C-alpha cells in the first residue's frame, strides 16, 4: 500500500490511464452514435466488435437494474450512452 499523497508507481499510472482512455474512447463512440445513428458504418463496426462479429437482432436482455430488456442493441447502446454507463453488458 502506498502512503497518501505519494505518486503512483509505474504500474499504477499505467492502470489509471488505461481506464481513462477506455472511458474517453467510449464517450467518443457514443458521440458518433448520437450524431450519426446506429447505422453509421463506424458505429456498426464497433457494435460488431463488441459482440464478436454479429450485432444481436431483436430484444436485448441486460444486467441493468430496472431495465432488464431493450427493443434492440441500438436502444441498449443509446441507453448506455445517455446514462454514461459505458461498460454494462448484455
Looking at the structure of the chain, the number of domains it has is: 1
Distance, CA of 85 to CA of 27 (rounded, Å): 10
Q: Is the pTM of this model over 0.85?
A: no
pLDDT tens digits, one per residue of 65-80: 777 788 999 999 999 8
Per DSSP, which regions of the chain are E strands?
Answer: 60-61, 69-70
Residue 18 lies in a domain: yes
**pLDDT exceeds 90 at position 41:** yes
Distance, CA of 56 to CA of 88 (rounded, Å): 15
Residue 4 lies in a domain: no
Residue 89 lies in a domain: no
**pLDDT exceeds 60 at position 2:** yes
- The average confidence (pLDDT) of the chain is 86
Domain that holds residue 56: 10-83
Residue 76 lies in a domain: yes
Residue 30 lies in a domain: yes
Residue 59 lies in a domain: yes
Please, which pLDDT band fits residue 62 given cuts at 50, 70 and 90? confident
Residue 20 lies in a domain: yes
Amino acid at each position: 500500500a502506498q502512503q497518501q499523497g505519494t505518486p503512483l508507481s509505474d504500474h499504477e499510472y499505467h492502470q489509471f490511464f488505461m481506464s481513462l482512455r477506455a472511458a474517453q474512447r467510449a464517450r467518443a463512440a457514443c458521440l458518433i452514435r448520437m450524431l450519426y445513428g446506429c447505422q453509421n458504418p463506424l458505429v456498426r463496426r464497433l457494435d460488431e466488435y463488441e459482440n464478436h462479429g454479429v450485432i444481436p437482432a431483436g430484444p436485448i436482455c441486460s444486467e441493468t437494474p430496472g431495465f432488464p430488456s431493450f427493443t434492440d442493441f441500438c436502444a441498449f447502446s443509446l441507453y448506455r450512452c445517455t446514462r454514461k454507463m459505458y461498460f454494462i453488458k448484455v
